[in-house]
Structure formats: structure tokens, C-alpha cells
């Protein structure tokens, strides 16, 4: 149920709204998209006066003149590209999919308020479902309900195939929020091509248990991507060091491909809004 998603703090709403407004660089009175009719104010360009409206309603108000206000037409749209691999069901406190839905709700909520077109794509071993671009709160609920209802399958993810599919699926230049844990992450030429056409912000969901292998003796592990099970001795120092090495290599590759447009969110954090706030404030200041 969408109602079960935690409410969004006002400060976060304000920051992300400001980021989107700056991103789209609205230029009032010089655009091609109608915005509103309002009373003339000191400093307004007299060429924007709507004489028909002024003659019809001006005598009823202290301010005789009305202007027709426009904004620059928005040429971008938003896509949530959401990981539905089985590893997203894991979580020591909160599952990755729970936090992924929560952060997606924050982005979509802002898009609804600002009337920005948005859509969603779901993937695991390839693109599994696409919800076309539209606007409005009902469209947001449709996307969130699909996230809540979807059942991940045990299939090894293939990012190489995903990049190729995304290249074909998203034709119009878009602001893409890629929500994933980036397990089995890989890159190829399609990713570089996608980045040259679209603006990608990667949101990596991390469970602290996965960052450091614990020393707890023999334990049974299961690969949530493939379903393979393995009994290992976690007290083996070489094994723990090798695991840490693999994790760091994977993290370095993700950082290389997406930084500085990369947000690391830990699923154990009950309040990760400060992390989001800091990223969007910095991104707005650096890029725009």
C-alpha cells in the first residue's frame, strides 16, 4: 500500500523542488509554455500585458493590468530505473527494496508538484517492465504500487544487457535516477553512450552487513542473485580479506562510472534524508 510509505520531511521537499526548478532553468516571460495570468507588478515587461484580460477584469481590481506569464518549455523528463533483482529483498534492518521505494517516492512526489513528466523502468536480468511517461499523482501511485507488488525472481543480473536495453527504451533525453545495489555491476560502450545522451544520478543502496564480512565461524550463505548456497568458515582471515577486496573493487568501479552523480544510501539509516539533502544542494550548486 502506498499509504505505508513514510511521509517526506518538508525540508527535503523544498530542497529537491529547488533542484528540479534550477535544473530545468525556467525563464519566465521568454518561453513557449503558458504558465499563468496574474496582476502586473513593478518590473514586469509591458510587452507581456494581456490586454484582453486587463480590459475584462482590470476594473474589478486595484491593479488594472494583467500579464500572460510563460516559462521555458521543458525538454527533459524523469525516469526511475529500478532494480528488481533478488538481492534487493535483502536487509539486516530494512530491505533494499523498502528503501528504494522510499527514495523513489521522494523524487516522484517532487515531479508531481512541479508537473514534470516521469516514467519508470524495472529490471533484473534485463528490462522487465516499462511504465510510459506521464504526469500527476495517480501516475505516481501506479509506479509505486508496481514496485510494492512486484516479486523479484532468482536470476543473475546482467548489467551489460541492461545498458543495451536502456539505450533502446529511453529515446528522449531524460534525467534518470538509477536505483540499485549494483551487485555484479559491469559497464560497456552502451553505458557511455547513454551518459552522453541522458543525465544519470545513481542511487546505490547498501546494507552495512555486506560492507564488512563478520568473523562468526561457519555460516551458510546464499547468493540471492543465483540461488546458490555455500558453507564457509568466516573466521578464515584470508577469506575475509578476499571478500573485502572484491567489495572495494566493485565500489571503485561504481564510483568511477557515476561519481560525482552518485548517492550512497545505507539501508540501516532510519533517516537518510540528510544524505539526500546534502547531495541535491551540492549538485545544484556545482552544476547550476
User: Phi, psi at residue 174, to the nearest 5°?
Assistant: -140, 160
Do 115 and 135 contact (CB within 8 A), yes or no? yes
Highest mean pLDDT among 30-34, 63-67, 219-223: 63-67
**Amino acid 26: pLDDT:** 46
Mean pLDDT of 120-135: 91
pLDDT of 28 reads: 43
Length of the chain as a residue count: 288
d(CA 112, CA 118): 9
Helix residue ranges per DSSP H, 150-272: 159-169, 189-197, 208-211, 237-258
Instruction: Quote the pLDDT of residue 99.
Output: 92
Q: Which residue in 76, 81, 166 sits closest to 117, CA to CA?
A: 76
User: Which pairing describes strands 262-266 and 199-206: parallel, antiparallel, or unpaired?
Assistant: parallel
* pLDDT over 70 percentage in the chain: 80
Cβ atoms of 90 and 188 within 8 Å: the answer is: no
Containing 138, the helix (H) or strand (E) segment is helix 137-149
Give the global pTM.
0.76
Q: Where are the domains of the chain?
A: 2-22+81-287, 27-71
Q: At what angle do helices 159-169 and 189-197 cross, to 10 degrees?
A: 30
Beta bridge partners of 83: 123
Per-residue pLDDT reduced to its tens digit, 56-114: 776 655 567 878 776 555 567 999 999 988 888 888 788 899 999 999 999 999 999 99
Confidence at residue 50, expressed as pLDDT on a 0 to 100 scale: 84
Average pLDDT, the chain: 81
Name the CATH superfamily for 2-22+81-287: von Willebrand factor, type A domain (3.40.50.410)
User: What's the pLDDT tens digit per position in 139-173?
Assistant: 999 999 999 887 766 555 567 778 888 888 888 88
Locus of grid cell 520531511 = 9
Residue 49, pLDDT score: 84
Is a pLDDT exceeding 70 seen at residue 221? Answer: no
Integer angstrom CA distances of residue 41 from 26, 34, 44, 48, 66:
19, 18, 6, 11, 9
Amino acid at each position: 500500500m502506498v499509504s505505508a510509505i513514510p511521509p517526506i520531511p518538508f525540508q527535503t521537499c523544498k530542497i529537491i523542488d529547488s533542484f528540479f526548478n534550477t535544473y530545468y532553468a525556467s525563464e519566465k516571460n521568454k518561453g513557449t509554455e503558458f504558465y499563468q495570468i496574474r496582476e502586473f507588478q513593478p518590473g514586469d515587461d509591458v510587452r507581456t500585458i494581456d490586454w484582453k484580460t486587463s480590459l475584462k477584469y482590470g476594473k474589478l481590481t486595484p491593479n488594472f493590468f494583467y500579464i500572460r506569464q510563460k516559462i521555458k518549455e521543458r525538454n527533459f523528463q524523469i525516469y526511475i530505473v529500478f532494480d528488481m533483482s533478488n538481492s534487493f529483498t535483502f536487509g539486516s534492518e530494512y530491505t533494499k527494496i523498502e528503501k528504494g521505494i522510499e527514495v523513489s517516492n521522494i523524487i516522484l512526489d517532487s515531479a508531481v508538484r512541479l508537473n514534470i513528466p516521469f516514467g519508470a523502468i524495472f529490471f533484473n536480468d534485463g528490462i522487465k517492465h516499462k511504465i510510459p511517461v506521464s504526469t500527476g499523482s495517480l501516475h505516481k501511485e501506479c509506479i509505486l504500487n508496481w514496485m510494492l507488488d512486484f516479486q523479484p525472481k532468482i536470476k543473475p543480473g546482467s548489467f551489460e544487457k541492461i545498458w543495451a536495453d536502456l539505450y533502446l527504451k529511453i529515446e528522449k533525453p531524460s534525467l534518470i535516477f538509477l536505483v540499485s545495489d549494483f551487485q555484479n555491476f559491469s559497464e560497456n560502450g552502451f553505458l557511455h553512450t547513454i551518459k552522453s545522451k541522458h543525465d544519470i544520478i545513481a542511487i546505490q543502496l547498501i546494507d552495512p552487513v555486506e560492507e564488512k564480512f563478520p568473523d562468526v565461524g561457519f555460516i551458510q550463505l546464499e547468493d540471492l542473485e543465483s540461488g546458490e548456497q555455500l558453507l564457509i568458515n568466516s573466521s578464515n582471515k584470508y577469506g575475509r580479506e578476499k571478500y573485502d577486496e572484491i567489495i572495494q573493487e566493485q565500489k571503485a568501479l561504481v564510483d568511477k562510472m557515476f561519481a560525482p552523480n552518485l548517492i550512497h544510501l545505507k539501508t540501516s539509516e532510519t533517516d537518510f534524508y540528510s544524505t539526500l539533502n546534502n547531495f541535491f544542494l551540492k549538485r545544484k550548486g556545482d552544476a547550476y
